[in-house]
Amino acid sequence: MSDPMDVVEELCERYQTAVSNNDSGAYRKLFAEDAIRIPPGCEPEHGPDEIGQGEQRDYDIAKWTVQSRALDALQIDDDWILGVGEGDVTTVAHADGATRSFRVNKMWLLQKQPSGHWLIKRQMWNVK
């Protein structure tokens, strides 16, 4: 069995790298085939393709960077972990260079895949 906090910390690193590189292809690979992502104030996005497209729309508007930290992890059973993270986000608009900074709280339901990799099944967050 994996240590749940190690799993969430590794996810935060992969998440941070994908977002800070504005790489929607790498971002979509964080999600299971039947994943659901629920952005604040938006309709749920289903599956890695739709989630990646939603993420790319953000990158088309601004350059994103994030510093992501694992806050907590709860082992549900051998194949499921509930993870909580926090991120400091900065965006720089492509159109006019306007900078915006904010903090987010993230919650992930992670599932261990047959390959042994942990992927996001559900993701939701809020902006602080």
Length of the chain: 128
User: Please, what CATH class does the domain formed by 4-127 belong to?
Assistant: alpha beta
Distance between CA 9 and CA 11 in Å, rounded? Answer: 5
Residue (of 66, 58, 51) closest to 124 by Cα position:
51
Residue 2: pLDDT band (50, 70, 90) is: confident
Please tell me the pTM assigned to this model.
0.95
Give the DSSP letter string of 29-51.
TTEEEEEEEE-TTS--EEHHHHH
Is a pLDDT exceeding 70 seen at residue 9? yes
Residue 1: pLDDT band (50, 70, 90) is low
